[in-house]
Structure 1
Amino acid sequence: MYARILGFAAIAACLAVPVFAAVALGDAAGSYTISPASSSIRFSIGKAGGGGLDGAFGRFKGSIRIDNSNVGRSRVNLTIFPESVGTGQSRVDAFLRSDAVFDSANNPEIRFRSTSVKRTGDTTALVTGRLTARGKTFPEKFTAELGGLKAGTIRFHVTGKVMRSRYGMDVGTPIYSNVVNFDMTLTGKRG
C-alpha cells in the first residue's frame, strides 16, 4: 500500500517536470533536488461503509531533471522510506511498517524511476515510470501540475492511484480498498 503511495510520489515528480517544461521550459530547464522540508507525500485508502485511512511519509528524497530540448527526456527519481509512514495512530503505523504491509525491515526503500514524460496541457504532464516496492516492480502513471517557479525553486502538485495488491500489500481487502490515492506537493531546488 505504502509502496504504491511512494510510486505515486515518484510519478508525481516526473509529471511535474514535463508540466513546467510545457509552461516555460527554457526557464525551468536544469536539475533539481526535491526538498522534503517544503514537500509532502500524502495518501488515502477508502474503506467499505465510509471512512478509511489517511497518512503521509515523513522521509523521502529525489531529483527532477528538466530537459529543455526534449521534454520526453526529462527524468524524475523518487525514493520513499516506508519506516517514516505516519497516520497519527501508533498501532496502525507499526502494522504498516510490519511484514504484513511494507516490510520496512527487509525493504527499506520504495523507488520510482520515470521512463516517460508527456505534456498534457499548458501546465500539466503525465509521468510514467517504474515503481519498486517489496521487491516487485510495475509501471505506474501520475499526473503532475506545475505550481510555480521562483528564484531557482520549482513546485509541482502530483496525483495518482496505485493498486496495492500488485506489490503484495493486499491485507485488509475488500474491507479496505485496493486503490491507494496519492496527493503530493513536490518542491525542488535548482543545483
Structure 2
Amino acid sequence: MTHKTTLIAALLVAASFPETSRSDIEVPSLSEVAGRYAITPGSRIAFTVDQVGGGGIKGKFGKFSGTFNLKAGDLPHSMVNFELKPGSVSTGQARIDAFLRSGAVFDTDHFDTISFRSNRVEQTGPDSARITGTLTAKGRSMSESFDVKLTGWSGRKIAFNVSGRIFRSRYAMDVGTPIYSNVVQFDMMIEGLRS
C-alpha cells in the first residue's frame, strides 16, 4: 500500500482546488498528512439526474460540513463524516428547487439533514480508492459507495474528486421515473484543511 493511496482513501465530498495534472501533484508522506481535516466551504457538491430525451436536472448543494481523519498506516480505519442540508439545493430554477425541497423529494420540512458515515476504505488504484459507508436521507439508511481520486496537495490542504451513483428509489425520492432517471450521479470536489 502506497502513501499516496492511503491519503486518497479517507474522504467523502467536494472542493475547489485548482485543476492539476497528475504529474503536478506533490505526494506527501503519511507523517506529513496524518490527522484530522475539516471540509472547507470552498468544496463543491454537484449532482445530475438524467431525463429521457435529454436535458434533466443539474444542481448543487450550498450548505454542508464534515471531517475526515487520515490514520497513518491504517487505511481501513480512516474515517469520513459528512452532512449536507438538502434545503440548500440549487438548480438555477426556483420552481424545480421548490419541488426538490417538497415532500415528494427531500421533504425538508421533516428531514433537514442528509448524512454519510464511512465504515470501509479500499484501494482501487495507485491514486484512488473506494469509500463505503451509511448514507441517511429522508429517514432511511443504506450502504453506499463513492470513488475517490487525489487531485491536489499543498501544505495543510488536500483535495479529492469524489463520484458516485445513488438510486433515488432507495430513499423514497423516485417521483417522476421513468421520465427522470432513478439514478442520481454525484460529482464532488472535496477540499480538506488540517485542523
* TM-score of the two chains, using structure 2 as the length reference: 0.86
What SS is found at the alignment partner of 1:83? helix
- Per-residue deviation, 1:15: 8.6
Length, aligned pairs only: 176
Q: Determine if contact 2:134/2:141 at 8 Å carries over to the other structure.
A: yes
Alpha-carbon distance, 1:123 to partner: 1.1
Is the Cα contact below 8 Å between 2:162 and 2:187 reproduced in 1? yes
Match of 1:58 in 2: 62
User: Aligned letter for 2:34?
Assistant: A
| TM-score, normalising length: structure 1 | 0.87
Instruction: State the partner residue of 1:13.
Output: 11
Preserved contact between residue 14 and residue 75 of structure 1 (Cα < 8 Å) = no
Which blocks of at least 5 consecutive residues in structure 1 are unaligned?
Answer: 1-10
Once the two structures are superposed, residues 78-122 of structure 1 have per-residue CA deviations (whole angstroms, 9 ceiling, x without a partner) of 101000000000010001001110001110000000010112122
The separation in 2 between residues aligned to 1:25 and 1:135, in whole angstroms, is 37
Distance 1:118 1:15 in 2: 17
In structure 1, the partner of 2:5 is none
2:125 maps to 1:127: no
Task: Give the equivalent residue in structure 2 for 1:80.
Answer: 84
Structure 1 residue ranges (4+ consecutive) displaced by more than 3 angstroms after TM superposition: none
- CA positional deviation for 1:75: 0.5
Q: C-alpha offsets along residues 7-32 of structure 1, whole Å, 9 cap, x if unaligned?
A: xxxx993499xxx9x97433221110
Correspondent of 1:188 among 184, 189, 192: 192
SS of equivalent residue, structure 1 residue 49: coil
Q: How many angstroms apart in 1 are the aligned matches of 2:13 and 2:29?
A: 15
SS where residue 182 of structure 2 aligns?
Answer: strand
Q: How does 1:165-184 map to 2 (within 5 A)?
A: 165-184=169-188
Indicate whether 1:99 and 2:99 are aligned.
no
Match of 1:29 among 13, 21, 34: 34
Higher helix share: 1
Q: Which runs of 5+ in 2 are unaligned?
A: 1-8, 15-24
Tell me the secondary structure at the aligned position of residue 130 of structure 1.
strand
Is contact 1:41-1:183 (8 Å) kept?
Answer: yes
- Structure with larger Rg: 2
Contact 2:13 2:190 in 1 (8 A): no
Tell me the equivalent position of 1:8: none
Q: Identity rate of aligned residues, in percent?
A: 47
What letter corresponds to residue 102 of structure 1 in structure 2? F
Contact 1:142–1:158 (CA under 8 A) maintained in structure 2: yes
Choose the corresponding residue for 1:140, options 123, 139, 144. 144
Q: Take 1:30 and 1:118, find their aligned partners in 2: how far apart are those partners?
A: 19
Deviates more, 1:95-104 or 1:114-123: 114-123
